[in-house]
Amino acid sequence: MNTWARDIVFLMASTGLLVGCSTTGSGNMGKSGGGSSMSWAQVIDRNPDPSVVTNPEMLAKIKATGLPWRVRDTASGIEMLLVPPGDFVMGMSPGDTLAMEDERPAHMVTITKPFYLGRTEVTQGQWTEVMGYNQSYFQEAYYRIETDGETDEQVAELMRAGNTLEEAQAKAGTGKLVETFSATWPLETITPNEMAPYLMKTGLRLPTEAEWEYACRAGVREPLYGPLDDIAWYSGNSQKKSHPVGGKMANSLGFYDMIGNVWEWCSDWYSSDYYATCENGVTDPTGPSVNDFRVARGGSWDHVSKNCRASFRENHFMPDPRITDFGFRVARNP
């Protein structure tokens, strides 16, 4: 293990990111459980909305936990949805001819504890509110009507066509417009060690790779939870850039952009043959104990369709240079 890897193991342990190779669950588990006061959260909706949680089995499991379904983390302002415990088949989807070797064998995974997951990827606005800076590559300005704060899409479209702000404003016939920060774009160009201070300040964590895939699939065994163009920003429709979160169709648990937009770092180290150790089933897997590579999931605006699948596993050597299509989504125990 190289010096950097040893340093990052220490940092991850101090921030609750270190999860190891045992099957006892992810970091900060001591804070979970039905008796938690959940003082870290503001409850938005206690009961799941059937129009959002459209998988009946998942709906029933959420209700059975007795925990609030939709909350807002007070430290970060991030909206989070409850993911119930359950079993699922992780890895290669049935009949998926695009599956890579590291997605095999498909194996049964048991998630024993409920957890909360960010409804979207962490945005530039949410990051900046906590950290005070924004290193994202795509910091696109957009425009809002000063009187009501709504984005003026007509003006933005006119400007993309080559008009100046004044020309677009005159043609659209709107009120006074002001340029504003791209707060709803996903944070990107971020590495796991750069995330550690944010996670320490907020008490949040990264999902494990198993938690991520379980939440992405949301009870579905197919490679995707809908037509790719409907659910994801990828190389075929992204115009070579990221896009504001939540612009595509959510999955059946209510999560947006689980596929596409930006890659999402997980807490697991990566090993190409790790699934071979899980073929007889595994409980709360946390991946290899340590390695020089880290896992990211979900595909991105810069990747082709074959990489934008629920089971596809991206990995990068650590430490890694900042990459413009890598971001993250946060998790938290109740």
Answer yes or no: is 94 within a domain.
Answer: yes
Instruction: Look up the pTM and report it.
Output: 0.80
Mean pLDDT over the full length of the chain: 84
One-letter identity of residue 117: L
Confidence band of 83 (pLDDT split at 50, 70, 90): very high
Query: Are residues 195 and 117 both part of a single domain?
Result: yes
| Mean pLDDT within 59-74 | 98
Query: Are residues 68 and 25 both part of a single domain?
Result: yes
Query: Are residues 127 and 160 both part of a single domain?
Result: no
Query: Are residues 175 and 46 both part of a single domain?
Result: no
* Model pLDDT, residue 182: 76
**Pairwise pLDDT comparison (248 vs 143), residue with the higher score:** 248
* Model pLDDT, residue 29: 35
If 0-12 CB within 10 Å is exposed, 13-18 middle and 19+ buried, where does residue 56 land? exposed
Query: Are residues 196 and 211 both part of a single domain?
Result: yes
Confidence band of 317 (pLDDT split at 50, 70, 90): confident
* Model pLDDT, residue 290: 82
Answer yes or no: is 136 within a domain.
Answer: no
Answer yes or no: is 137 within a domain.
Answer: no
Answer yes or no: is 81 within a domain.
Answer: yes
Query: Are residues 27 and 93 both part of a single domain?
Result: yes
* Model pLDDT, residue 1: 47
CA 320 from centre of chain = 19
Residue-wise pLDDT for 250-291, tens only, equals 999 999 999 999 999 999 999 999 999 998 999 999 999 888
| Mean pLDDT within 177-188 | 73
Query: Are residues 291 and 165 both part of a single domain?
Result: no
Query: Are residues 28 and 8 both part of a single domain?
Result: yes
Confidence band of 159 (pLDDT split at 50, 70, 90): low
Which among 180, 206, 238 is the end of a domain? 180
